[in-house]
Amino acid sequence: MNKTKLIRAFFTLTAIIVLAVLLNRLFMRNSMSLSEYVQQNAPSGVPSPLPGETDANEDEEIPSSPEISPSVVAPPPESGDNVPQLTGAALNGDSQLEQRYTLCENFYFEPLSDNLCRYITGVSYPASRQENQGGDPKQKTGPDQGAGANQKTGASQETGPNQGADTNQEAGSDQEAGSSQKTSPDQEAGSSQETGSDQETGSSQKTGSDQVTGANQETDPDQKTGAAPGQPVVTFEDLRYVHILHYDFDGNVAEGELICNAAIARDLVEIFYELYRSEYQLERVRLIDEYDGDAIASMEDNNTSCFNYRVVEGTSSLSKHAYGLAIDINPFYNPYVTYNGDGSEKVSPAAAAFYADRSASFAYKIDEEDLCYKLFLDHGFIWGGNWNSSKDYQHFQKSLD
């Protein structure tokens, strides 16, 4: 009897289990396992599909995050990389492309365009005497007027840098400096300066008390320059526009531009390229015309510049800058120093007096160990820092043979 009850209880329990399994499968058909839930709801950053959307990309592999590469120093900007265009570059444009000499990208020289000639006339380049009579001496004239870019004023007009007035001229005691120009500390020393054979030579001349010096001075026809009366001793055809890159005082690459004599254009391009390769710093390199031809203002702004038609301070002799054969480098940190009879000294610009002491140690100082000094001397220039009666530490000049 007991055996029969046990068997009946066993089958009853088995039937209940089977029934429970069947009911579980019936009601739990749309459910998921715990592992499936974790896989679907893992915080992977990929949003789950909205209800009703088909998971078309369910089997696609989620891309991994890109690896972060180590930082790389950016190369210097090339042409067109948000570098602001300079005045001379904008005025010349591509008009002189066929006559352009390019050492490498952004380092080139070329003739002055008509637009650039008009821009500098009456500022760094003088207007002719006829144009200045009865008119504004600062009036800008076209390159076809006076000593124009394409105009020859006679076979004798194109003269070398050594045809200027005598450096031993006696300037009248009442000679007045023109109000429109301040003379530069980098100008070659006055009448008593011993600068050697590289200075302009010529007959001695006493200048009248009414002579005015300045960027727009007209060459006296009695001076033995070879130029026609009332015409400058250099023509636009003697000059070249130079474009460079350089490192500024913040260590950034910047554009620079100069106007110089054609005879030293290649020298300058090659020198500035080597300075650029060595990351030599120049605060700015702009045309002197951006300072209205005012050499003092340019130097106070520590602007590196070249051509400026002006005379040597305290004399009537044309500076080498008037021929485009001299250049001033970082002038504020390398001032012009003259010595008075009482032993005192005059520093130009005056605000740079601290940098007249060359025994002091400071940045941007040009001396015989400086790369800039070595490069210019390798190209046949002389340094004003080696003069005797004055010191022009910013100044390099070259004479034509």
Q: Is 51 domain-assigned? A: no
pLDDT of res. 41: 55
Distance CA 199, CA 216 (A): 21
Distance CA 69, CA 208 (A): 73
pLDDT of res. 7: 83
Q: Tell which residue, 281, 282, 280, 276, has the closest CA to residue 76.
A: 276
Query: What secondary structure letter does DSSP report for 341?
Result: T
Contact 358, 393 (CB under 8 A): yes
pLDDT of res. 174: 39
Q: Is 126 domain-assigned? A: yes
Report CA torsion sign: 353, 356, 358, 359: negative
- Which amino acid, 171? A
Task: Give me the number of domains the chain comprises.
Answer: 1
pLDDT of res. 110: 98
Distance CA 264, CA 380 (A): 10
As given in the structure block, the two tokens for residue 239 are 């000059």
β-pairing, 395-397 vs 382-383, is antiparallel
Q: Is 170 domain-assigned? A: yes
Q: Is 32 domain-assigned? A: no
From first to last of the 401 residues of the chain, give the pLDDT tens digit. Answer: 577 878 888 888 888 888 887 777 766 665 555 555 545 555 444 444 444 444 444 444 434 433 433 333 334 455 444 555 799 999 999 999 999 999 999 999 999 999 999 999 999 999 874 444 344 433 444 333 333 333 333 333 333 433 433 333 333 333 333 333 434 444 443 333 434 434 433 333 333 333 333 333 333 333 334 455 568 999 999 999 999 999 999 999 999 999 999 999 999 999 999 999 999 999 999 999 999 999 999 999 999 999 999 988 778 899 999 999 999 999 999 999 999 888 899 999 999 999 999 999 999 999 999 999 999 999 999 999 999 989 999 999 999 87
Residue 374 CB neighbour total at 10 angstroms: 13
Q: Is 87 domain-assigned? A: no
Q: Is 25 domain-assigned? A: no
Residue 324 CB neighbour total at 10 angstroms: 27
pLDDT of res. 314: 74
> What is the domain range of residue 361?
98-150+163-241+261-397
Distance CA 49, CA 317 (A): 88
Is the link from the previous residue into 349 a cis peptide, with omega within 30 of 0? yes
pLDDT of res. 239: 98
Q: Is 268 domain-assigned? A: yes
pLDDT of res. 13: 82
Q: Tell which residue, 147, 381, 92, has the closest CA to residue 259.
A: 92
Distance CA 291, CA 123 (A): 9
Q: Is 194 domain-assigned? A: yes
